Structure 1
């Protein structure tokens, strides 16, 4: 069984059940399943076949769901990409991921045109209409015009009775690119078994069912949303309440108008909802569960939100390499604020020392994970894979401890990683951009507390001359990095603190920031 086949089964058993609401439109499971089959056939007619790689550069929309499930039904591998990435970042993923077809918005056609020359493997750009494009754009003048196809036409011309090829559970279904400590993203290969098992186990653990109406405002290209807010509810036959973007007003309106039962978000979202001056707790009265992930939620915020809106918030933990969920606070036992909860169904977490031996209760060690959700490996990186997966155990790099009741607590995150509004930022990636500027001698990047985003990126730079300004360097960074990766502050200093071997002492920099 896989996600595409499960959708087909649900459509057969409950054809008239609403699968999703999006703005002023909705779709039944029968309609969604038909669109998925037609799109799969449309892709096949373009020459896309089982094993080919298809990128989705899309925001939250039905296009994303139909595009992903259609590609999966065909047996293609899906590569979701953040649409706010810079051309450099997108081009790296598309080239490294050997992408054959790209599904993207008409708003991004100029971006596709700009990147076309450096994307020799991309044969098709499948364009989704937004209704926001200026009609004066002369598409025929673009060099990518011969490669451009219409998402709508593929649906129209596709055969409703498309027959999916035989799919093996160990076939790679999705490659999720996650920033690596080397500064370049790594593609985590998730199989059909990985995704199906984790969505099924999350649905069982959190009791997600066909009566649930789940607010889908987390970005669909992010693994948190992909499994917990998209695949799990669809697998259970629930209804997605799709929000194109996060807005406190929109979330309250959607919850009230559609009697939402589940909301999932990163702590930043909960903070904005809690602080929204026009909020009315009555608008969220139908919620039975809120889910928090992506970063640790401050206990004070968790308690304030629960008290204000009278709803349980369950914190969990996951990582792309685990599809992603390994832990959640259980619903049938006491929830422990500050904890990431206990093992979900079929997944085992363990805290070990440097020798891989399990440490005693309460002792800090590295969190490792085992289960059907653990990735196949990193795409084209066998050495990285071998260093991360040992004897079936995924080494997360996160420091944790377990209490006597089996609840886990994250003590520290992967070394030096910064989490900005739920998104992972690796300092090395930002530092490489800073170092590429001709006026920069040295640079160090770290995370600092931020009241709205949880953490923000701060850079310390040693420059060659006084002519370089903070604004100039920020502008340079914005040309190479996504907005959430940009430093909020760039502080120029005469020298970076180092140890006797010349290694930069980040801890000394962080202490200096916190002591100001």
Structure 2
């Protein structure tokens, strides 16, 4: 049996033709429809003159067509470059240029930088497409090039092959047991790797993906009851926070499993989720675009381990290294490295790939730059996430990028951007500003930043100080700022994403 992504979905299309593959609002696709449409989409894209290996950038909201595009990529050899449509024009232009995208598929009304062909009418492409001629990308073919940022805040393209994604599916099955009877609610955006990975794993094993076009807590809870969803495939903690207060008003008794990651799971969120969804196991994993799922913990059974993100999943190992690349003792803090390495590398950045890897006793290891500690039982506890990275509502924000924009504000002499604890967003993007003139207010800072950055990157709080603390070499002492401000009440107000 062909156990590639294409082969497994083809099997379901043949043997379970009418089974529901994807539901999104009032739209539905059976497995036979999904497979036929993805083949026509693949043929239509190749008919534009694209060749296997050419990158196709995607700027779409969650929709069934997004998953059809992933399957078309698996059948055509055209790797996808999913892009967050909330990014600004310059941010999108950078990713398009860096990725080498040959074509863009974008939603109506969304501005796309000039210079590349754009397809907006996927229905016409599918309806006009013929049956796909034999194109069989192998496991080493590039499938996904998702953009993740490094310590400088400049996005890097993380290259994943078809074979790596299938390994992810099998790992997910071993942990969460996808099967043909499962209905998986997917509230996360498909431009992120984890929602895409979990959705495709569900299709790989023949279940139903219950896709939300955008996250709304009331809609999510209603859909769970209406379709008797058995799992929430991937939800960042902020989503769980939104669902907890209203969960008792809905029938969620069909749920057996909830999976979360992407931001710190605070104790109140963890315990609130366990109370609000009493039939469901609560899984939390540690991973990333480069590595998929590395550790996992089920919190209902693992309450004794508190904030642990779990132990290494079967087939993978975790080691913590000190500054001399030597393993640290249990309980000591070290840089987290994982093995085996699943990504093919950072696109066009061999040095960045080399900087993130180490070889110990003939084994290659990769780090995301996170610090952690391991206890005697092998449970991993995160200490800091990618140095100074801020995680707000499940989205990664890199202070250097925001600081570079705010430094251009005419009323700002010096600035540091940090994340401070926030009950709604996990962390609030906070601009600490020094100025010799009239201090800008929050509205001024947000308006200035929003013209240049995505909404989720703009500051939700502004703190005015006399001086930004720095080392003798000029580096900002961000740990001091966080410690000084975390217990206070800096000015804040809601802001849009």
Where does residue 474 of structure 2 map in the other structure? 502
CA deviation profile, 1:222-253 (whole Å, cap 9, x unmatched): 1121112x111111111001111111110111
1:493 corresponds in structure 2 to: 465
1:440 partnered with 2:433: no
Structure 2: how far apart are the matches of 1:429 and 1:332? Answer: 38
What is the distance in 2 between the residues matched to 1:35 and 1:329?
A: 38
1:396 is aligned to 2:373: no
Deviation at 1:515, TM superposition (A): 3.8
Runs of 5+ unmatched residues, structure 1: 128-149
Q: Do 1:206 and 1:331's aligned partners in 2 also have CA atoms closer than 8 Å?
A: no
User: Cα distance 1:100–1:412, how it changes in 2: closer, same or farther (>3 A)?
Assistant: same
Cα shift at 1:333 = 6.8
Task: Summarize the Cα distance change of 1:404–1:436 in structure 2 as closer, same or farther, 3 Å threshold.
Answer: same
Correspondence for 1:67: 69
The structure 2 residue matched to 1:484, chosen from 456, 470, 473, is: 456
Whole-angstrom distance in 2 between the partners of 1:22 and 1:500: 55
Report if aligned partners of 2:308, 2:382 keep a CA contact under 8 Å in 1. Answer: yes
Question: 43, 49, 52: which is aligned to 2:51?
Answer: 49
Shift of 1:352: 2.3
Q: 2:140 maps to what in 1?
A: 170
Structure-1 residue corresponding to 2:122 = 151
Q: Does 1:456 align with 2:428?
A: yes
2:244 is aligned to: 274
Does 1:180 find its partner at 2:150? yes
Where 1:107 maps in the other structure, the secondary structure is: coil
With normalisation by structure 1, the TM-score equals: 0.89
Secondary structure, in 3 states, of the residue corresponding to 1:257?
A: helix
Q: Distance in 2 between matches of 1:2 and 1:439?
A: 56
Q: What SS does the aligned partner of 1:183 have?
A: coil
Decide whether the 8 Å contact of 2:282 with 2:299 is kept in 1: no
Aligned to 1:32: 34
Q: Secondary structure at the match of 2:262?
A: coil
Match for residue 375 of structure 1 among 327, 343, 348? 343
> 2 CA distance for matches of 1:214 and 1:32?
17
Q: Secondary structure at the match of 2:102?
A: strand
Equivalent residues in 2 for 1:59-98, closer than 5 Å:
59-98=61-100
Q: Report if the CA contact (8 A) 2:22-2:208 is conserved.
A: yes
2:261 is equivalent to residue 293 of structure 1 = yes
Which residue matches 2:494?
none
State the distance in 2 between where 1:434 and 1:408 align: 36
Task: Report the CA distance shift for 1:458/1:164 in structure 2 as closer, same or farther (over 3 A).
Answer: farther
Return 5+ residue gaps in structure 2 as ranges: 489-497
The 10-residue stretch of structure 1 (383-392 or 337-346) with the greater mean CA deviation from structure 2:
337-346
Alpha-carbon distance in structure 2 between the residues aligned to 1:515 and 1:21: 45
Question: Corresponding residue for 1:231?
Answer: 200
Equivalent runs, 1:300-319 vs 2, <5 Å: 300-310=268-278, 311-319=280-288
Aligned-partner Cα distance in 2 for 1:181–1:411: 17
Partner SS state of residue 21, structure 2: strand
Change (3 A) 1:337 1:261: farther
Alignment map for 1:424-435 (pairs within 5 Å): 424-435=396-407
> C-alpha distance in 2, partners of 1:38/1:95?
28
CA drift at 1:24: 1.2
* Distance (Å, rounded) in 2 between the aligned partners of 1:295 and 1:487: 18
CA contact (8 A) 2:274 2:300 kept: no
The 1-side partners of 2:276 and 2:77 are apart by: 46
Q: 2:10 aligns with which of 8, 11, 15?
A: 8
Find the residue that maps to 2:264 and give its secondary structure.
Answer: coil
> Partners in 1 of 2:141 and 2:263 — Cα distance?
30
Conserved 8 A contact 2:74-2:143: yes
CA distance in 1, matches of 2:298, 2:321: 23
Question: Counterpart in 2 of 1:408?
Answer: 380
Q: Residue 39 of structure 1 contacts residue 158 of structure 1 at CA under 8 Å; is this kept in 2?
A: yes
- The CA distance in 2 between the partners of 1:494 and 1:405, in whole Å, is 46
Structure 2 counterpart SS, 1:395: strand
Q: Which moved more, 1:166-175 or 1:448-457?
A: 166-175
| Residue 474 (1) aligns with residue 476 (2) | no
Q: How much is the aligned-residue C-alpha RMSD, in angstroms?
A: 1.9
* Segments ≥4 residues shifted beyond 4 Å: 330-335
Counterpart CA distance in 2 for 1:442 and 1:387 is 30
Alignment of 1:122-271 (within 5 A): 122=116, 124-127=117-120, 150-160=121-131, 162-228=132-198, 230-263=199-232, 264-271=234-241
- State the shift of 1:330 in Å: 5.2
CA contact (8 A) 2:75 2:136 kept: no
